[in-house]
């Protein structure tokens, strides 16, 4: 795996390599781990990160109230005993500042910073057939090359600003929750509006309600929100968690979504109403995603079972919100429970009992435009000092496709995925050799760090094997991509949310083709798929060696014991293929 020194320094500064074995994009939880694993293989790696700090999602989403909805100790890294022993989470669901501190701690502890370049957004990556390498261009016009190009950009990282007329015309402060500034934002005494009531809106509303002079919440679609029930982790609890990390990991890896919760095995319809009601009450009060992932096993597959949950949750909203008209506005009418990722809240419903908080339904009173003094709706002008856009993300494919990625023959990934993503294993795209997509479309599921650790390990193992064999090119076959597509669709067809207007289908973005973007067959199925592919000699993938202009000289230096596969590509059958 050659590297090339192209920028010898005339000073004593370290020489900068501009050619690498691998370039990783994104210094979030996935990218940091991928960097660590590839460095263990002695590959030369550069990680490029758009932000000025590490953390990814937890760097950008620093709005007040941002926090985990996965248990802290199930979201963090689980590959290292040292990291687990040296870090203590202070809360069951850590807030953004603590998560960002954690990821900085990891970057320091694993000594990753020397290979990370911050403030460097990747604009384009083009595969060059002749050199068998990726040419990666930053938005500042610098070009780096690498044999392997690895995206670890997260699924909720391309903030979406809705096409509201004259959105630039507001004279006050305006922030997107996904691009929150790294400074104190003061709400005290201000007239504030929040547009959007997904997880971000639901998290930020209670804080602003307490501090602002007035808060107007613009809601298009209400969500089924349940209490997060966060709590501090005592030193004794931390000790128990540390002791049981292995067991916690095993449990998470055995659940479909990577959370620690397991579904109750009976149907919601099979138990007496009073038993069901008591159980709903219990899991409503328990911390975290229990209402969705500890519920009866058929709530996502049987409409009648789902109706029982929504009936319970609607009653809860009516109990918690004093004004029946506002309570009714907050009850979803267009989707069942779990059809969209349900926000976890901390005093969200109670915020609407305050005199300084108003809920505006965009169906009754649409926003016409932003004006210098605030927001003009169909019926009035609302004067504001600050507008917060909690309007979500071009999810899963957004950040990948905002880069101009081109494969063989100059083919653009954006064109190839115009009708939705097509991958093999969620990792490979046909005709994009040596591109690895980690934590992206057709693989992502609930508690994503548990998924991406599997992918990162698998990719690291694959590259180590390629290195040992002398291969330097890997590409998915067309049959394998088609079969993965069928496998992903089959999983999606089993759940009730097929018609939901959710980011998981891309339907929150005007003009985005509707396609299922995630993976619904479950983490254990995914993980066993990956290991079977490996055991079957990387079936569905073509591994080969390409000389490439820049690697010819290097060939002679290879130890004789390492054989080049050379010659015809090794193509093995995809899952289920002949
Ligand atoms: P979400 O969940 O996509 O929520 C975005 C919100 O913004 C949602 O309420 C949208 O309403 C609303 N929205 C979007 N476009 C508009 C326009 N044009 N006008 C008014 N309102 C609009 O993003 P979040 O950041 O809250 O959460 C993302 C994920 O982060 C979440 O699922 C968790 O996994 C963590 P809509 O529902 O589309 O009618």
Q: Which of 508, 509, 512, 518 to mutate to test the pocket of ligand 1 (most atoms within 8 A of CB)?
A: 508
C-alpha to C-alpha distance for 378 and 322, rounded to whole angstroms: 27
Mean pLDDT value across residues 80-98: 97
What confidence tens digit (pLDDT) does each residue in 239-249 have?
Answer: 999 999 999 99
C-alpha to C-alpha distance for 533 and 158, rounded to whole angstroms: 31
Q: Domain limits of the chain?
A: 16-158+395-576, 167-389
What confidence tens digit (pLDDT) does each residue in 418-462 have?
Answer: 999 999 999 999 999 999 999 999 999 999 999 999 999 999 999
Cα 507 to ligand 1 centroid, rounded to whole Å: 11
- Retrieve residue 394's tokens: 């071009």
Mean pLDDT value across residues 9-22: 61
Q: Which one-letter DSSP state was computed for residue 121?
A: -
Cα 497 to ligand 1 centroid, rounded to whole Å: 17
Which of 141-145, 492-496, 571-575 is the most confident on average?
A: 141-145
- pLDDT of res. 576: 26
What confidence tens digit (pLDDT) does each residue in 336-361 have?
Answer: 999 999 999 999 999 999 999 999 99
Please indicate whether residue 325 or residue 562 has the higher confidence score (pLDDT): 325
- Where residue 499 falls among pLDDT bands split at 50, 70, 90? confident
Residue 199 CA, closest ligand 1 atom number: 26
- Retrieve residue 266's tokens: 């009976």
Of 120, 127, 111, 66, which is closest to residue 91 (Cα–Cα)?
66
Using the predicted structure, report yes or no on whether residue 555 has a pLDDT greater than 90: no
Contact 93, 76 (CB under 8 A): no
pTM: 0.92
Mean pLDDT value across residues 378-401: 98
C-alpha distances (whole Å) from 113 to each of 32, 100, 107, 117, 173 are 10, 15, 6, 8, 34
Mean pLDDT value across residues 170-195: 98
CB atoms near residue 169 (< 10 Å): 13
Q: What is the mean pLDDT of the chain?
A: 92
What confidence tens digit (pLDDT) does each residue in 271-305 have?
Answer: 999 999 999 999 999 999 999 999 999 999 999 99
Query: For residue 360, what is the enclosing H or E element?
Result: strand 357-361
Cα 197 to ligand 1 centroid, rounded to whole Å: 6
- Where residue 552 falls among pLDDT bands split at 50, 70, 90? very low
**CA dihedral (456, 66, 193, 341) positive or negative:** positive
| CATH number belonging to domain 16-158+395-576 | 3.50.50.60
- pLDDT of res. 439: 97
Contact 100, 55 (CB under 8 A): yes
Using the predicted structure, report yes or no on whether residue 551 has a pLDDT greater than 80: no
> Taking CB atoms and a 6 Å cutoff, what residues make up the pocket around ligand 1?
156, 162, 177, 195-201, 220-221, 341, 362, 390-392, 503, 508
Q: Which of 164, 366, 392 to mutate to test the pocket of ligand 1 (most atoms within 8 A of CB)?
A: 392
Using the predicted structure, report yes or no on whether residue 135 has a pLDDT greater than 60: yes
- Give, using CA atoms, the residue closest to atom 2 of ligand 1: 198
- pLDDT of res. 395: 98
- pLDDT of res. 545: 95
Mean pLDDT value across residues 205-213: 98
- Where residue 548 falls among pLDDT bands split at 50, 70, 90? confident
- Where residue 497 falls among pLDDT bands split at 50, 70, 90? confident
Q: Which one-letter DSSP state was computed for residue 359?
A: E
- pLDDT of res. 578: 20
- pLDDT of res. 15: 41
Q: Which of 71-85, 128-142, 494-508 has the lowest mean pLDDT?
A: 494-508
- Give, using CA atoms, the residue closest to atom 29 of ligand 1: 199
- Where residue 12 falls among pLDDT bands split at 50, 70, 90? very low
C-alpha to C-alpha distance for 499 and 42, rounded to whole angstroms: 47
- pLDDT of res. 549: 53
Using the predicted structure, report yes or no on whether residue 396 has a pLDDT greater than 60: yes
Using the predicted structure, report yes or no on whether residue 10 has a pLDDT greater than 70: no
């Amino acid at each position: 795996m050659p590297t090339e020194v192209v920028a010898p320094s005339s000073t004593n500064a370290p020489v900068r390599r501009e050619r690498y074995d691998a370039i990783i994009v994104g210094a979030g939880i996935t990218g940091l781990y991928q960097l660590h694993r590839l460095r263990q293989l002695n590959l030369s790696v550069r990680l490029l990160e758009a932000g000025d700090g590490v953390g990814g999602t937890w760097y950008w989403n620093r709005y007040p109230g941002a926090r985990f909805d996965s248990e802290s100790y199930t979201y963090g890294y689980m590959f290292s005993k040292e990291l687990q022993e040296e870090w203590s989470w202070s809360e069951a669901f850590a807030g953004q500042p603590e998560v960002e501190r954690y990821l900085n701690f990891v970057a320091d502890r694993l000594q990753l910073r020397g290979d990370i370049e911050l403030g460097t957004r990747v604009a384009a990556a083009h595969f060059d057939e002749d050199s068998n390498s990726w040419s990666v261009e930053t938005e500042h016009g610098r070009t780096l090359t690498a044999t392997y190009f690895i995206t670890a950009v997260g699924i909720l990282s391309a903030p979406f600003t809705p096409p509201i007329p004259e959105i630039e015309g507001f004279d006050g402060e305006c922030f997107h929750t996904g691009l929150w500034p790294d400074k104190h934002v003061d709400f005290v005494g201000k007239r504030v509006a929040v547009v959007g009531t997904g997880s971000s809106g639901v998290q930020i509303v209670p804080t602003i309600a307490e501090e602002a002079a007035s808060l107007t919440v613009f809601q298009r679609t209400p969500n089924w929100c349940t209490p997060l029930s966060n709590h501090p982790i005592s030193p004794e609890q931390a000790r128990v968690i540390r002791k049981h990390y292995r067991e916690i990991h095993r449990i998470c890896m055995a659940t479909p979504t990577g959370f620690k919760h397991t579904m109750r095995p009976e149907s919601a319809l099979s138990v007496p109403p009073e038993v069901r009601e008591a159980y709903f009450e219990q899991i409503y009060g328990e911390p975290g995603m229990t209402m969705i992932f500890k519920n009866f096993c058929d709530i996502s597959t049987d409409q009648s079972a789902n109706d029982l949950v929504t009936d319970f949750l609607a009653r809860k909203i009516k109990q918690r919100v004093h004004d029946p008209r506002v309570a009714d506005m907050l009850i979803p009418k267009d989707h069942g429970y779990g059809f969209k990722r349900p926000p976890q809240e901390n005093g969200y419903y109670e915020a609407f009992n305050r005199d300084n908080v108003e809920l505006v339904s965009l169906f009754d009173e649409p926003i016409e435009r932003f004006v210098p003094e605030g927001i003009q709706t169909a019926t009035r002008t609302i004067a504001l000092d600050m507008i917060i856009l909690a309007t979500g993300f071009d999810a899963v494919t957004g950040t990948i496709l905002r880069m101009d990625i081109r494969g063989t023959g100059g083919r653009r990934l954006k064109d190839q995925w115009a009708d939705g993503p097509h991958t093999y294993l969620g990792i490979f795209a046909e005709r994009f050799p040596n591109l690895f997509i980690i934590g992206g479309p057709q693989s992502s599921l609930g508690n994503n760090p548990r998924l991406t650790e599997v992918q990162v390990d698998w990719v690291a193992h694959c590259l180590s094997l390629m290195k040992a064999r002398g291969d330097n090119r890997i590409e998915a076959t067309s049959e394998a991509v088609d079969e993965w597509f069928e496998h992903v669709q089959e999983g999606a067809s089993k759940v009730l949310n097929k018609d939901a207007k959710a980011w998981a289908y891309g339907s929150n973005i005007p003009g985005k083709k509707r396609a299922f973007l995630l993976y619904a067959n479950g983490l254990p199925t995914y993980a066993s798929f990956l290991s079977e592919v490996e055991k079957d000699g990387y079936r569905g993938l073509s591994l080969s060696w390409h000389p490439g202009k820049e690697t010819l000289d290097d060939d002679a230096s290879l130890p004789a014991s390492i054989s080049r596969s050379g010659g015809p590509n090794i193509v093995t059958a995809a899952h289920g293929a002949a």
